[in-house]
Amino acid sequence: MKQHSKKLAALVTIFSMTFSLTACGGKPASDQSSTADAGAEKSEEAISVEWRMANQHPDDSIATIADQEIIDAIEKATDGRVKITLYTNNSLGDYLSVFNEVMIGSIEMAHISTDESYDARLLGGFLPYLSTGYEQLPKVYGPDSYLFKTMKNDIYKNLGVEFMGFFCEGFDGVGTQKAINSPADIGVDKGVVIRVPGMQTFIEANLMLGFRESTIPYSDTYTALQTGLVEGASGVPANLFYLNFRDVITHFYDYQQVQEATHILINKDAFSKLSEADQKAISEIIQDKCASSYDLAKADEDKYKDLLKKEGIEVVEFTAEERKAFAGACHEQVWPKLAETFTQEFLDGCLADIK
């Protein structure tokens, strides 16, 4: 009798435990799996957004045209989920204020110069003689380069910004009001005082070539040339010499010291809210456009050099050997002076891509 009572008690206990688990919300494994799958699907749900994109470029520039093409391609690729309105020519503020707004997310996207106050290496794309011609640009600025990876995975990542790519807009040159001495001879006094941007990279590179210098803001350059305060200017590409200075220079020297490589940026939080498929589509569209910028920049530069010639301005070209000599001297004489600013590790990494 006691044995039957014990068996009955055990059965009651087991039944009670089973009932209790069911009543407390326990679910079969198949139901739990379905719930997890639903959560995963929700996190991958494609959302719709409306962004603002700011740039610093005139409406008819190759950069603005490319930006609008990027926007149109993104809207099409995302089936209208990602709509972007472009604000050109600093209409949302200069590049410094826009940079800060992209960081905090009040502007979602931008195509601008960068603010090196957060990290000096952000100016790495403007290192003098980082490349010696257009054929080297993919190695230097492409997604497999040391410079690109450092920007994306180190510098911008820590600033809450998604770095999408470099857009190349052309090499700078030196415009002068008279012929200079020994243009291809490194270190020989060129016989003119030129305006240079107030950055160590430009200052040291032009000193190496043999120019005397004055650091004047870009906005004051025309007046300085007009009044004779300086006899030339550097850090200016052919298109801007034609558009802004063609009546105050007589010579354009195509030294190709620095490539104007601007940055396409997206706020990281805004980007991460998109589905993986939309993120991938946007990244590919921007990278394709950045890759096409090398040819666009060269064609634009050639166009404006021809226009300068038509204005009676002498355009002085340099051979591949002469440019190689400029670059070699710059890497030996100038880059060591920049190590304190950029770090030797960063400079070595950039240089390895072009050797």
For the chain, domain boundaries:
47-352
> What are φ and ψ of residue 96, in 5° steps?
-70, -45
Residue 225 token pair: 């040339």
Please state, in angstroms and rounded to a whole number, the distance separating the CA atoms of residues 349 and 355: 11
Question: Dihedrals φ, ψ of 209, to 5°?
Answer: -70, -25
From the list 262, 300, 259, 293, the residue with the least C-alpha distance to 110 is: 262
Going by DSSP bridges, is the β-strand pair 109-112/259-267 parallel, antiparallel, or unpaired?
A: antiparallel
E strand or H helix at 233: strand 232-237
Q: Which residues contact 12 (CB under 8 A, 6 or more apart)?
A: none
> Contact, 123 vs 114, CB < 8 A?
yes
Tens of pLDDT, residue by residue, the chain (355 residues): 444 444 444 433 444 444 343 444 444 444 444 444 443 443 467 899 999 999 999 999 999 999 999 999 999 999 999 999 999 999 999 999 999 999 999 999 999 999 999 999 999 999 999 998 999 999 999 999 999 999 999 999 999 999 999 999 999 999 999 999 999 999 999 999 999 999 999 999 999 999 999 999 999 999 999 999 999 999 999 999 999 999 999 999 999 999 999 999 999 999 999 999 999 999 999 999 999 999 999 999 999 999 999 999 999 999 999 999 999 999 999 999 999 999 999 999 999 998 8
d(CA 210, CA 333): 13
User: Between the CA of residue 187 and those of 129, 191, 246, 252, 280, what are the distances in Å?
Assistant: 16, 11, 27, 19, 48
CATH of 47-352, one of 3.30.43.10, 3.20.20.110, 3.40.190.170, 3.40.50.2300: 3.40.190.170
Which amino acid, one-letter code, is at 25? Answer: G
Token code pair at residue 82: 């990602």
Tell if the pTM clears 0.75, that is, is over it.
Answer: yes
Going by C-alpha positions, the residue among 262, 255, 258 that lies closest to residue 232 is: 255
Please tell me the predicted confidence (pLDDT) of residue 44.
64
254 contacts 104 by C-beta, under 8 angstroms:
no
Token digits for 119? 């990290």
